[in-house]
A and B are shown apart, each in its own frame.
Chain A
Amino acid sequence: MKEDEVLSKIGAHVREERGEEDAPAILDGEAAERIASRLAPAKVIPFRRRVMTYGAPLALAAAVLLFVMTRHGENGPQLPGYAVTATGEQAMRGETAKSTRLHLAKGQAGRFEIVARPDTAVAEAKVVAYAFAMIDGEPTALDAKVDVSKDGAVRITGESRLIGAASELRIVVGAPEAIGKYEGALDRAKSGSSDGSVRVLSIAIDRD
């Protein structure tokens, strides 16, 4: 079969596939609302896989730091406490335990993962998250993928090298109306202060 024939066959195949597109709507308005609500600005992307996927591994986490709600904010829904686990490249390969501190091997071009799970699902509240690397006390937007699940769990994954010289990562979690826009998240990260509607989670970084 010559190239033109293959291309022609490909075109016919796609046209045939498309013939089924008049089917009734597969996803309803509620699904559209869920999808739209998770498309927050910046790099907040929802979990493709439900957070349940991560439930079992997280239950095995060796160390868990619990952020307990102590105060109530005036804006947005009240958030539960968050438990955080941080995983460096070695731990992601199953070689070391997960920790609340992120351990990065020097010079290693690996990946990291941070998961923050709410003590209870945030129910109907729309939650967004921003991740920052702290360098000399100043927050810088972290170049990493940020996922937020329907239940309010946050997962951040990225390349370790992009953390740069940061000594700490801070994750700002809360309802958009409580955090405000990016600048609001930046201010929160800098101050490090949490309240009932916005959580600032801190992950210290260790290096070899």
Chain B
Amino acid sequence: MDDKEIVERALSGDAVATRRLVDRVLPVVSARIARLLSRRKSRAGRDARQEVEDIAQEVFASLFEDGGRVLRAWDPARGLSLPSFCGLVAEREACSILRSGRRSPWSADPTEEADLEKGLGVEPGFEARVETREQLELLVDRVREALSPLGLEMFERLIVREESVESVCKDTKMSADAVYAWKSRIGKIVREIVRKENLVA
């Protein structure tokens, strides 16, 4: 059974496939949650392992909820492995939970671009103040929270892996215009967060 089949079967309620899916991605999911947790003080009296498991449970719930909308957004043809994709979701969910104490729903569509345009269109320049590790972590967390599943994949490729637009186009079969649009959109999200969090120099 390949990963795509595991996903399909798990989403149709197959308990064996669900367990296989969890086994397949839990190492990456739990590692990323643990790393994010280690940056923050664990709540008093909470066992760290239990906290990782609780958040991991939320991550899987978010992957499965609404008919598996988020999990179905994973497309192996775009080149990202299932564990890597779920790892991105884990980072996003964990950021949201740790920041607000509750889950935040996925945006149905890649960020509200109209809102971003509204807030940014008149700004003449962009000069951010991201000097400390705390500022950087805050910014990264907010960016993750603002992105849809596809947005997270684009963020991973374009920003984290620093892949060229050509390379992303080749792997994902997306047009260059679409990839450039994503790059621009991620940049706008960053600018908006910088403004909102008062990280402007």
Contacts and interface: CB of A to CB of B under 8 A. Distances in A.
Interface of A: 1-3, 5-11, 13-15, 17-18, 20-21, 23, 25-27, 29, 31-41, 43, 45-46, 48-50, 181
B74 to A, nearest CB: 16
A45 B19 CA distance: 15
B30 A46 contact: no
Given A7-B187, A10-B140, A48 B194 contact: no
B84 to A, nearest CB: 10
A6 B129 CA distance: 9
Nearest to A38: B57
Given A15-B160, A23-B31, A25-B27, 6 more contacts: A6-B128, A10-B143, A10-B160, A11-B160, A27-B52, A41-B12
B3 interface: no
A83 to B, nearest CB: 24
A34 to B, nearest CB: 7
A32 B18 CA distance: 10
Contacts of A36: 15, 18-19, 21-23
Contacts of B28: 21
A14 B136 CA distance: 10
Contacts of B103: 48
A10 B61 contact: no
Interface size class of B (residues with CB under 8 A): 35 or more
Query: Which of A5, A9, A39, A41 lies at the interface centre, i.e. has the most chain B CB atoms within 10 A of its CB?
Result: A39
Contacts of B34: 23, 26
A29 B19 CA distance: 10
A35 B190 CA distance: 34
B121 interface: no
B65 A6 contact: no
Interface string B49-68: 10011111110110011000
Given A1-B201, A45-B65, A48-B57, A6 B130 contact: yes
A26 B201 CA distance: 40
B112 to A, nearest CB: 19
A5 B190 CA distance: 11
A154 to B, nearest CB: 15
B127 A2 contact: yes
A2 B127 CA distance: 5
Contact of A181 (B13, B18, B19, B21): B13
Nearest to B143: A10
A94 to B, nearest CB: 18
B140 A32 contact: no
A6 B199 CA distance: 11
Interface string B99-128: 000010000000000000000000000111
A35 B27 CA distance: 13
B52 A35 contact: no
A34 B26 CA distance: 12
B137 interface: yes
A-B pairs, top 3 by smallest CB distance, nearest first, are A41-B13, A45-B61, A36-B19
A42 to B, nearest CB: 9
B77 to A, nearest CB: 23
